[in-house]
Structure 1
Amino acid sequence: MPGAIRRDYGARAAPQTLPERMDGETDYETFRATLSSLASVNRLTSGYAPIRAFLDQVLERGLPERPLRLLDLGSGYGDGLRAAARYLSERGVRAELTGVDLNPHAAMAAREAQDTEHEGVTISYVTADVFDYAQRAPQPDLVTCALFTHHLEDEEVVRLLSWMDRTASRGWLVNDLYRSRVAAAGFRVLSTLLGKHPYVRHDGPVSFARSFRRADWDRYLSEAKVEGARIFIGAPFRLCVEKHA
């Protein structure tokens, strides 16, 4: 982990050359405890602000007569979907939210953590490879992903952007990290002081090393032939990309 902080932050670290512990096989309890710990960090650092702002803009543009369909990629613990469900329910929006994650532990952990119902909004979880599921999924109105793209190699990010742009009928949002040595070191200190799970303390700096700057997203969008997307800081050390149809 210290090596992740000391490395050159001018270029993104490829995931295959700088693995996270959560990328490997873990038992269920370790997986659940790690993502629960990470969710608490997300709450502390306003990590859900981008999805709320994105949904605000979607609501301003009007809604379909049927329930709004949102697909969340790499949904993990489901905390982002629960934040979206709460936000939509409070505004009286009917919606069907679906989370897809490759890890077989994710759906179970997310369902266990879902301790409240959100009126008018349903959440379901699917265990699948994102790209395989994309071929058979019902067309979503919205596609979102948070802290997911830094797990992908560059060519996979381009492929994902291209698919989202073709598929999401009303828009999409990528919410990920801004690559910064200061953020990586600060995360390490904060997560240690707060007694977060050892995997979180290790993987946080690695995630920052594998994350992005504006030039990366400019290149990916160009290669994916996506026009009209916006790149912006959505929360502290969060670099987001969104497009509204």
Structure 2
Amino acid sequence: MFDRFQQRSTDLERLDTGEYTSEEYSRWQREMKFIHGILGEERALKNTLLRDIETPHETKLSVIDVGAGSGGLLRKLAYWTLPRDVFLVGAEIDRIAAKSITDSKIAGLQCDALRLPFCDNAFDYSFCSLFLHHLDDDGAVKLLKEMSRVASKRIYVIDLNRHPLAYYFYNFFGWFVLQRFTLEDGSLSILRSRTPGELFEIARKAGLNDTKVEHSRVNRLILSGR
């Protein structure tokens, strides 16, 4: 019953293959806002990146969200850091999503997360959320290297923990409130995710220093390093 959790799945999600309708994607975006807000990403960001930003209290800061989607977490970060001078950038490969990120406080940029068009140490911090599990191990190492290259202080990687309790909990409660596309892709996301030990190994291969893996509520892991 639990054999499927011993190794991460290599099956692709429909979000990666593009096998979904515009209506499914629109509903997925709404449901992801719920998942980010209620199920963990905002809490994880508050307890890690925001904690570092607030101490010491620097007057100017810059942060890039890699694989930012439509920029929901960046907007939260912009609100949390008011009235400080914080430069926020969302890097996203999808053209429409990248365009939707830009507002008065955030710059959106369409680009490849594994080839960020920025010089070394262009930002103070970089982070990504629920993105790492979409990549194989080689891609994950490249991502961490790029995030570390452009961040002078620290990187934060928020992702799921491959654990049977989380998988069955998500499937049970998701069946009542989520569309089939979100439910199936979310289940596969858990199976594609990494354990704390696997995250440490990816970080080692990427050459990160001062590496930490912290647990956050609702099955989130936060990998950080320099």
Tell me the TM-score normalized by structure 1. 0.83
Give me the identity figure in percent: 21
For residue 32 of structure 1, report the CA deviation from its aligned partner: 3.0
Q: 1:7 to 1:131 in 2, by over 3 A?
A: same
**2: CA distance, partners of 1:82 / 1:7:** 39
Matches within 5 A, 1:115-194: 122-135=105-118, 139-194=122-177
Q: Which moved more, 1:71-80 or 1:131-140?
A: 131-140
- Choose the corresponding residue for 1:36, options 30, 50, 53: 30
Q: Tell me what 1:10 maps to.
A: 6
Pair 1:83 & 2:66 matched: no
Aligned with 1:93 (options 78, 84, 91): 84
Give yes or no for contact 1:143–1:168 (8 Å, CA) kept in 2: yes
Offset of 1:136 from its aligned partner? 5.9
Structure 1 residues 224, 46: CA separation in 2 closer, same or farther (over 3 Å shift)?
closer
* DSSP-derived class of the 1:8 partner: helix
How far the C-alpha of 1:108 sits from its partner, in A, is 4.5
Is contact 1:9-1:179 (8 Å) kept?
A: yes
Provide the rounded CA distance (Å) in 2 between the counterparts of 1:241 and 1:83. 20
In structure 1, C-alpha distance between the alignment counterparts of 2:91 and 2:121, rounded to whole Å: 13
Match of 1:242, as an amino acid? S
| Pick aligned residue for 1:227 from 204, 209, 224 | 209
Query: Of 137, 160, 179, which aligns to 1:197?
Result: 179
Unaligned 5+ residue runs, structure 2? none
Please tell me whether the aligned partners of residues 32 and 109 of structure 1 are also in contact (alpha carbons under 8 angstroms): no
Matched to 2:55, the amino acid is: E
Which of 13, 34, 51 aligns to 1:56? It is: 51
Report the Cα distance in structure 1 between the residues aligned to 2:182 and 2:100, rounded to whole angstroms. Answer: 16
Amino acid at match of 1:58: I
How many equivalent residue pairs? 224
Taking only aligned residues, the RMSD between alpha carbons, in angstroms, comes to 2.3
Cα deviation, 1:184-239, whole Å, max 9, x if unaligned, reads 12112222212x23211110110000001111012112211212111110222001
Length-normalised TM-score, structure 2:
0.89
Aligned to 2:196: 214
